[in-house]
Structure 1
């Protein structure tokens, strides 16, 4: 990580526009950490009424880990998206009609939360687009078993990678992602985040992405890949064996095809070709429409799939099903 180029933080945005972009869309809404802390209740384990690790504690524990690992005193403000609200009311208001409830009689928490935080001044450049080193994660209470006691492990998803500042697309790799991190306490969560952050090779990850700019798909190859990607969704299970997995949905594939022509940053060249860096960003842009509980899996799959396309172009063997 020490080889990342350091730039002034005010160079890391595209005229301030990137901060307005959503890093995930679907049915989510933006929210402030303070609002979650001050206004949301915390679910509890039924057998002992002890609280689960809250969304706020998750964000703060992982942020503290990043500050310790990278020697940073302050991090950027977290970008937070939530979905699946669980609404309730106080006991005293149990007989009121919904439109009669006072603000202090309503309770709420969100079942699912995704967030990311940029690490200041840890920035790289690909094709004139600035990439910020970023941490974040997903907490989905629906994955936890609350019919137990506080000692039960809770499920988290955690990542460290890059955010493309022109579009807020997330770029993550296998060694920077934990899709099933289990923790029983804040201390346990800190320890596992520390392990992930210290083992992540940001330089290698960046170099792999930068190498995408050296490979191009012709218009014909892109069309073949898009067509096969749509077919893959409908293949019988036995025929999918041996074919590289593609988690992107049919609707998202259509979005990739549309943006191939229309995206202001990643569309095709005049001759119809497109390099793999732009293709990769078309994938990561499309999967932003995923629900929170599938978001990171599809972001990671976008990177792995693009590497497989690169390997196929390198070998020119014709064995890659999507291009043969």
Structure 2
């Protein structure tokens, strides 16, 4: 099967003023920077396997494979541009400039690629609403070359992370669960990668997932319960390993816990009610908002963990999980 290049796909539709998203609203922040697909394709070098100098599957090929899988899965005539963010640059120079000082290098003498890349693509017209927040179906992926064994030959499988879920348009928070994520997709070729992404998209039930999210609006935490959960979240980081193994895993770090508390009081969309309570939909969005400060290689894992943790809180409030440590 021959995959099309993303620049060969039909031209995307013109975005109307109603459809525009705030330019400063990012699906991930941390230490990342935005990059255009054309820049990645035309200016970034491709890492190789050291033993045979064969190329890896590049960031561009990854974006192209996911783009085409989504286009075929949803029967799209046009496909919107991917929002791409990168981190951890690996800099180099051409052979002819090997003796120059760094400040003397000309633009054409420099080489670069980014060790980590994450991207998100919005599927036009597939949307729903939860608690007044517009949710848009998105697909995307994460690539981190440090997870691959580049000291081997080309035949070694490469590691990818792909997802399908919903983006909360008001804040571009990514809502994902285990049903829509493959955290260790292994592929040796672009074709293998394409087919596995197709399988993930085909197995995802967006209607069921949105109902799952909407369910969260029916549950509320009192301020004291929220405070207890936050306190236990801080304690979790320091628990002895034996005790930690008996408690539901929490992947966010202490800095992100602090961001959740700050947003509980100050967030324009998801802060507490006047009486101090907060429903679990807003609670979940505090987690997904804090997750934007994760590094690219931890972004999806923490997103899935935030979804699972929120539903564990829901079950505890429902009395179906009475021994939930964070609220016990």
Q: Shorter-chain TM-score: which interval?
A: over 0.9
Does 2:41 correspond to 1:37? yes
Pick one of 77, 80, 84 that aligns with 1:80. 84
Correspondences of 1:109-148 after superposition (within 5 Å) = 109-148=113-152
The alignment partner of 2:292 has SS state of helix
User: Take 1:16 and 1:61, find their aligned partners in 2: how far apart are those partners?
Assistant: 25
Q: Please give the per-residue CA displacement for 1:85-134, whole angstroms capped at 9, x wherever unaligned.
A: 00000000000111111111000000000010000010111111111100
Deviation at 1:12, TM superposition (A): 7.3
User: Take 1:21 and 1:171, find their aligned partners in 2: how far apart are those partners?
Assistant: 15
Deviation at 1:148, TM superposition (A): 1.5
Does 2:67 correspond to 1:63? yes
Verify the 8 A CA contact 2:270 2:286 in the aligned structure 1: yes
List alignment gaps of at least 5 residues for structure 2: 1-13
Does 2:239 correspond to 1:235? yes
Structure 2 match to 1:4? none
List alignment gaps of at least 5 residues for structure 1: 1-7
Structure 2 match to 1:5? none
Pick one of 287, 297, 304 that aligns with 2:301. 297
Pick one of 236, 256, 261 that aligns with 1:257. 261
Structure 1 match to 2:5? none
Does 2:205 correspond to 1:196? no
Q: TM-score, normalised by structure 2?
A: 0.93
User: Take 1:308 and 1:79, find their aligned partners in 2: how far apart are those partners?
Assistant: 31
Structure 1 match to 2:26? 22
Structure 2 match to 1:272? 276
User: Take 1:221 and 1:114, find their aligned partners in 2: how far apart are those partners?
Assistant: 35
The alignment partner of 2:78 has SS state of coil
Matched pairs, number: 315
Deviation at 1:202, TM superposition (A): 1.0
Q: Please give the per-residue CA displacement for 1:264-290, whole angstroms capped at 9, x wherever unaligned.
A: 000000000000000000000001101
User: Take 1:60 and 1:11, find their aligned partners in 2: how far apart are those partners?
Assistant: 27
Structure 2 match to 1:175? 179
Structure 1 match to 2:3? none
Deviation at 1:201, TM superposition (A): 1.1
User: Take 1:146 and 1:286, find their aligned partners in 2: how far apart are those partners?
Assistant: 32
User: Take 1:213 and 1:120, find their aligned partners in 2: how far apart are those partners?
Assistant: 26
Verify the 8 A CA contact 1:12 1:130 in the aligned structure 2: no
Q: Structure 1's 70 and 218: CA in aligned 2 closer, same or farther, altered over 3 A?
A: same
The alignment partner of 1:119 has SS state of strand
The alignment partner of 1:133 has SS state of strand
User: Take 1:112 and 1:166, find their aligned partners in 2: how far apart are those partners?
Assistant: 26
- The more displaced of 20-29 and 79-88 is 20-29
Deviation at 1:318, TM superposition (A): 3.6
**RMSD between aligned alpha carbons?**
1.5
Deviation at 1:317, TM superposition (A): 6.0
Deviation at 1:50, TM superposition (A): 1.1
